[in-house]
Amino acid sequence: MTISIISFLFLCIALSTDTFTAGLSYGAGRVRVSPLSAAILSLLSGLLFTLSLLAGQRLAGLFPARLAELFSFAVLFLLGLYKLYDALPERFHRRSSLTTASFSEKVNKKDVQTLSGGEAALLSLVLSVDSVTAGISSRAPELSPVIILLISALIQFLSMQLGLQAGKIFLGRSSANSSRLSCAAFSCTLLFALAFSRIL
């Protein structure tokens, strides 16, 4: 069983908000992210997501359909809750290191004003944890793996560019937090809608 192309696109967009948040953080900090670094991050993230979707397609056949649907619902619903937590202002995290902004800062240490290709690859691995989890609990659309990879990578790349530009515009902490919360609310809504679509 596959998911529709529309559901696939919504899932890609919802999962790309971590990349947007990382871009927002780098843009506000005036960190240079070259097109090459952004491409490395996007392609690696897209590859991991594509492989997880294909793996999820295989694993789904090993379990009863209803159990697979409930598992998919639980994963997407919990990811939606995490997106909201991730977007909360820093005072609510109590110095937690499990946020996108925290991961972005820790990865970019060699030259704090530039995100290198190696750092971009490492960041993509960190940001892809939820994508891999969601992919394994979902199904692949009726598209070739190459097309799935290109679409997911393109959405990741555009999210990074939008985040960088938004970060440069919203340099104030309150403006950045508002932008992050708005993005999280949008992502959370998509993930919740996808989650309930699995069981309805």
Q: What is the spatial distance between Cα 6 and Cα 92, in angstroms, rounded to a whole number?
A: 34
| Distance in Å from the first CA to the final CA of the chain | 16
Give residue-wise pLDDT tens across range 49-108: 999 888 887 876 676 767 767 777 887 788 777 777 766 665 555 545 555 555 556 565
Quote the pLDDT of residue 159. Answer: 92
Burial class (CB in 10 A: 0-12, 13-18, 19+), 97: exposed
Average pLDDT over residues 12-38: 85
Encode pLDDT of 145-198 as tens digits. Answer: 999 999 999 999 999 999 888 888 766 555 555 666 666 676 777 777 877 877
- pLDDT tier for residue 111 given thresholds of 50, 70 and 90: low
Q: Where does the pLDDT of residue 40 fall: very low under 50, low under 70, confident under 90, or very high at 90 and above?
A: very high
By CB atoms closer than 10 A (0-12, 13-18, 19+), residue 138 is buried
Q: Token pair of 145, please?
A: 């793996």
pTM confidence score: 0.74
* Res. 32 pLDDT band, cuts 50 70 90: confident
> Which token pair is 168?
């440069």
Burial of 65 (0-12, 13-18, 19+ CB in 10 A): exposed
Q: Which helix (H) or strand (E) holds 33?
A: strand 32-33
